[in-house]
Amino acid sequence: MEQLRMSLRLKQEVMDTEACTRCGLCVGLCPYIKTMNERIAFIHDCSREDGNCYQVCPRTPTDWATLDQAVFGEARTDQVLGNYAQILYARSLDRGTGESGQYGGVVSALAAFMVESGESEAAVVTRGEESGPPTPVVARTREEILAASGSKYSASPTLSALNEGVRQGLNNLTVIGRPCQVLGLRKMQSLTGVSEHNLSARQVNFTIGLFCFWSLDTKVYSLFEQKTEGKAVRKIDIPQNFVVLTTDAGEVQIPVDEVREYIRPTCLRCFDPTAEFADVAVGSTEHDPQWNTLIVRTAKGKEVVERAVAEGRLEIKDYPAARLPLLLTAVNNKKQRVVDGMARGEAGYEYLILNSASFAAAGRED
């Protein structure tokens, strides 16, 4: 049988099946892949046999254990949260980032720290708009980083901005992304024996992963527009049972059940809600909006966090022992649903190559 071109396999296995996470890493790798309204598609057939687009996609076959070795140099010690050095509560002490941040502003504080210290030339971020989908941006200054603070819950193809930044000659970039975006970056960084010309992830020197249990389709922005009667949305939050939209005229609450139909199916097949391959992973605390949960994963992550603390940018404290079982249960349950789907032979899990050391359910409560 004729071997299918990589680009055709990407189209058939990922784009045409709605498996695409819209990470954006393939956008700009070749001139034929474009994005519109967060949807990623080929605009022209690609004739290359050996394109990297298929290899780096977070929804093409990925061996979790191999990636553990590539990123951490060892097998995982925690099958639920992945490898990590520390789990903490943290918040920004950096005026501005703390105020504009989604919660404790840790992500913006760390990104600003990397850029202002000169260690990164820029940060790849996702800037919200007053209405409609956000925009992937290369932020070269603290102001541009702050302007992108806050969570936008659609699947922005942020990594297209990484490719653009590298094309402009930028090096040593900090990237902020959803877990699937970090996965794509790490796959690209660990590729061997391939053409090096467009491996943009090799220019990334710090990855900040966001916790993410699901993202929404851009169609949700029409619902937001309708609910706010066209007012500009300044902030979106999803505490427990509601989506809360902050406008200049006050808050609009939407029951979370009303947005469930916008959850992207590929997110339900995601095995990684806590950005297991990032240098640091950041999420909410689920009870104190002034603080973040901060998982310090790699040696690089530890070094950057220690310096940010020493320089007064970040405050950290112990993760409350009573909260850890709640986090573990939430992550464990998500992973177990994925493993159950695989065991039933459902479609959409072909990308996931797990061995028994990658996950063993630690007990489930639904």
Ligand X SMILES: Cc1cc2nc3c(=O)[nH]c(=O)nc-3n(C[C@H](O)[C@H](O)[C@H](O)COP(=O)(O)OP(=O)(O)OC[C@H]3O[C@@H](n4cnc5c(N)ncnc54)[C@H](O)[C@@H]3O)c2cc1C
| Minimal distance, residue 46 CB to ligand X, in Å | 26
In terms of CB distance, is 211 or 221 closer to ligand X? 211
What gap in Å lies between CA 162 and CA 53, rounded to an integer?
14
Q: Is residue 298 close enough to count as binding ligand X by CB under 6 A?
A: no
In the complex, minimum distance from the CB of residue 186 to ligand X, in angstroms, rounded to a whole number: 16
> Per CB under 6 A, does 151 bind ligand X?
yes
Q: Is 178 in the site for ligand X (CB under 6 A)?
A: yes
The alpha carbon dihedral of 210, 213, 66, 198 has a sign of: negative
**Per-residue contact string for residues 215-234; x = within reach of ligand X by CB under 6 A:** x-------------------
Say how far apart CA 215 and CA 11 lie, in whole Å.
Answer: 21
Nearer to ligand X, 171 or 290 (CB): 290
* Residue 70 DSSP SS3: helix
Q: Least distance to ligand X from the beta carbon of 337, Å?
A: 14
Q: Is 269 in the site for ligand X (CB under 6 A)?
A: no
Residue 176 in contact with ligand X, rule: CB under 6 A:
yes
Please select the residue that binds ligand X; options are 35, 62, 149, 218, rule is CB under 6 A.
Answer: 149
- Could you give the string, one character per residue 54-93, with x where binding to ligand X holds by CB under 6 A and - elsewhere? ----------------------------------------
- 117, 131 in Cβ contact below 8 A? no
Q: Which residues of 198-212 are buried (b: 16+ CB within 10 A; e: fewer)?
A: bbbbebbbbbbbbbb
102 interacts with ligand X by CB under 6 A: yes
Stretch that binds ligand X, among 41-49, 101-109, 113-121, 352-360 (CB under 6 A): 101-109
Min dist. Cβ of residue 366 to ligand X (A): 17
The terminus-to-terminus CA distance of the chain in angstroms comes to: 46
Asked whether position 332 contacts ligand X by CB under 6 A, the answer is: no
Candidates 58-66, 95-103, 185-193, 334-342; binding stretch for ligand X (CB under 6 A): 95-103
User: Is position 20 an interface residue for ligand X (rule: CB under 6 A)?
Assistant: no
**Least distance in angstroms from the C-beta of 97 to ligand X:** 6
Binding window for ligand X (CB under 6 A); candidates: 27-35, 175-183, 297-305, 333-341 = 175-183
Instruction: Please tell me whether residue 266 binds ligand X under the rule CB under 6 A.
Output: no
333 is a site residue for ligand X (CB under 6 A) = no
Site for ligand X, residues 277 to 296, rule: CB under 6 A: 282-284, 292
Subset of 103-132 contacting ligand X (CB under 6 A)? 103-108, 111, 125-126
SS (H, E, C) the chain: CCCCCHHHHHHHHHHCCCCCCCCCCCECCECCEEEECCEEEECCCCCCCCCCHHHHCCCCCEEHHHHHHHHHCCCCCCCCCCCCCEEEEEEECCCCHHHHCCCCCHHHHHHHHHHHCCCCCEEEEEECCCCCCCEEEEECCHHHHHHCCCCCCECCCCHHHHHHHHHCCCCCEEEEECHHHHHHHHHHHCCCCCCCCCCHHHHEEEEEEECCCCCECCCHHHHHHHHCCCCCEEEEECCCCEEEEEECCEEEEEEHHHHHHHECHHHHCCCCCCCCCCCEEEEECCCCCCCEEEEECCHHHHHHHHHHHHCCCEEEEECCCCCHHHHHHHHHHHHHHHHHHHHCCCCCCCCEECCCCCCCCCCCCC
Report the residue number, 71 or 161, with the smaller CB distance to ligand X.
Answer: 161
Stretch that binds ligand X, among 10-18, 97-105, 300-308, 357-365 (CB under 6 A): 97-105
Residue 165 in contact with ligand X, rule: CB under 6 A: no
Exactly one of 82, 101, 165, 301 binds ligand X (CB under 6 A); that residue is 101
Q: Which residues bind ligand X (CB under 6 A)?
A: 97, 101-108, 111, 125-126, 148-154, 156, 158, 176-178, 210-213, 215, 282-284, 292
